[in-house]
Amino acid sequence: MTGLDAIPEDIVDEAIAWHLASRSDAMDWGAFSAWLEASPLHRECYDQIAQVDAMVRRQDFVPIERHDAPAQASEPESVKERLHPGRKIALALAGAATLVASIAVVAWHPGLFGTAPHDERMVETGALTQEVVLGDGSRVMLAPHSRLAVGDGDRRMTVIGGAYFVVPHRPGRVLSIAAGGLVVSDIGTRFDIQTDGPQARYVRVAVAEGQVSVSGPTLDQALPMKAGRGLVFDAQAGEVRIAPVAPDRVGGWQDGTLTYADTPLALVAADLTRYAGRGLDVPDELKGRRFSGTLVFAKGHSSAQDLAGLMGLVLVHGADRDRLARPDDRP
């Protein structure tokens, strides 16, 4: 991790300003998410600023005596002196003297956060849903046959399969969830993520409450997603489709229903495999066909049979798995 003393001053200034602004109801969360996604250094700097502030508020920050700094180091300039005059006023009005002073101390001691371990834990489900509670009170309902990796102080996650996230608003804390070729950044909201497996071609994100930011290496820019919007990402085609969703149906798999809007059959089949407990295969030529509607899933064939009927397809039963096919392809 880069020490604060090695981060350009303008980025440190911006991170401080965003951190202070996050305490206000007038915070522009969309602009903040865009700033975070603009550079990995932005997120790294912001995380360190938030950590310093949290330490000060907990009163467990022990100032480092000046003689602990390397002998050859000259006295650093005051952080206040480095700030733009308008920024100084903002800091003064926000009562941020202790935050600024503490940041100056961290700048003298760049290894303070650089040596922190990046712990990681893995949760994997079988046939049942499992609730995962994070240290800040956020909750993740991990779907059956899914996997969740949590690390970096519960701030970064990776999900394979399905999960519903309930994230309380916490100024100064941003969660990032990797899923397939996307990264979903969240400040405080409720949303659902579904992928079609470990080598995910398709990823679906739906927002029930609040707003998230969705980014990825194949996207030109971060996409803000508000409540009532859903996104389907096709990694192979590099394509994103956004459509309205009913907020009260987001995460409906927890109650036995799956609602789709213009969703690839491959992703629908992956959902039914996960939730109905029986494998459902889709031939390559049908994977990109789109489905809109609601399925009530149950164990066995029934939900897959409903899907086949709605799509004008047939369901071919196998010993352990079923397969969707065109009527003229039926053996």
- Confidence at residue 85, expressed as pLDDT on a 0 to 100 scale: 31
Using alpha carbons only, how large is the chain's radius of gyration in Å?
24
Residue 154 scores a pLDDT above 60: yes
DSSP assignment letter at 252: G
Domain 256-331 has CATH 3.40.50.300: no
- Confidence at residue 219, expressed as pLDDT on a 0 to 100 scale: 84
Task: Kindly indicate the confidence band of residue 69, based on its pLDDT and cuts at 50, 70 and 90.
Answer: very low
- Confidence at residue 119, expressed as pLDDT on a 0 to 100 scale: 61
Spatial contact of 206 and 218, defined as CB atoms under 8 Å apart = no
Residue 325 scores a pLDDT above 80: yes
Spatial contact of 274 and 144, defined as CB atoms under 8 Å apart = yes
- Confidence at residue 285, expressed as pLDDT on a 0 to 100 scale: 92
Q: What is the mean pLDDT of the chain?
A: 76
Portion of the chain with pLDDT greater than 90, in percent: 25
- Confidence at residue 44, expressed as pLDDT on a 0 to 100 scale: 75
SS3 of residue 165 by DSSP: strand
Helical spans, DSSP H, in 83-162: 85-94, 97-108, 111-114
Per-residue tokens: 251:
């995460």
The model's pLDDT over 107-143, given as tens digits with 9 standing for 90+, comes to: 433 433 443 344 678 899 888 899 998 887 889 999 9
Q: Identify the sign of the CA torsion 2, 99, 105, 65.
A: negative
Question: What dihedral angle (degrees, nearest 10) is formed by the CA atoms of 323, 260, 180, 22?
Answer: -160
Place of tokens 């300039």: 77
Residues 288 and 266: their CA atoms lie apart, in Å, by 7
Q: Which CATH number fits domain 124-250: 1.10.3720.10, 3.30.1490.20, 3.40.50.40, 2.60.120.1440?
A: 2.60.120.1440
- Confidence at residue 188, expressed as pLDDT on a 0 to 100 scale: 77
- Confidence at residue 300, expressed as pLDDT on a 0 to 100 scale: 53
The residue among 147 and 330 whose pLDDT is bigger is 147
pTM for the model stands at 0.61
SS3 of residue 288 by DSSP: coil
Range with the lowest mean pLDDT among 67-71, 206-210, 241-245, 265-269? 67-71
Range with the lowest mean pLDDT among 60-74, 168-182, 218-232? 60-74
Residues 160 and 162: their CA atoms lie apart, in Å, by 6
Residue 269 scores a pLDDT above 60: yes
Question: What dihedral angle (degrees, nearest 10) is formed by the CA atoms of 270, 274, 276, 282?
Answer: 20
Spans of all domains in the chain: 4-114, 124-250, 256-331
- Confidence at residue 56, expressed as pLDDT on a 0 to 100 scale: 47
The residue among 327 and 187 whose pLDDT is bigger is 327
